[in-house]
Amino acid sequence: MINKLAIVLSGTALALTACGKHDGAANEPANDVNILADDNMSATAEAPSPTSAQGFANAAAASDRFEIESSKLAASEASSAAIKSFAAKMIAAHEGSTAKLKTTTGGLSPAITPDDTLSSEQQASMDMLKTLKGADFDKAYAAAQVDAHQKALDALNGYAASGDTPALKDFASGLVPTVTAHLNMAKGLK
């Protein structure tokens, strides 16, 4: 249970990184995260811990990828102008977050290469969203964004407090305000 929580928190933190980019603030990281824990996942010797630099980088990269892909889907399937506007902001923020993550991890010694493979839960969420249209899509997308941002915020706070790499801890703590703002925006989606 603790390993699953750590994985969820790490992924969330990374995703939040994508949401950290503000309009007009190109140097700020994006802080949106949509890391969903897979209840059937267990930590193994092969999977990096989310509190390790590699584990955090992977979770953040996957979170960014989920946010970008789900938000691109929202751009075409949503019926609400508010959902479409939010989705456009998430795409820009997470593309910025991905770039910031790559810069940060590339500057580490040794450098880390983030793996953006979606978790099975993220993939299941994407698969479900692809089956919906209009108002049904809007409702499911908004709920997924609230969940993802809350998990991202928890992960960012967790890594910032107990991560193993100072540069990534700074990256995580720097995204907390942005992810908090994105969470609040997601909660306001109708």
Architecture of domain 2-187: Up-down Bundle (1.20)
Each residue of 121-154: pLDDT tens digit? 899 999 999 999 999 999 999 999 998 888 888 8
Each residue of 41-71: pLDDT tens digit? 333 334 555 678 999 999 989 998 999 999 9
Instruction: Sketch the domain layout of the chain as residue ranges.
Output: 2-187
Cis peptide, bond prior to residue 110, ω within 30 of zero? yes
The pLDDT assigned to 31 comes to 35
Q: Indicate the pTM of the whole model.
A: 0.74
Q: 119-129 burial string, b = 16+ CB within 10 Å, else e?
A: bebbbebbeeb
Q: Exposed, middle or buried: residue 173 (CB in 10 Å: 0-12, 13-18, 19+)?
A: middle
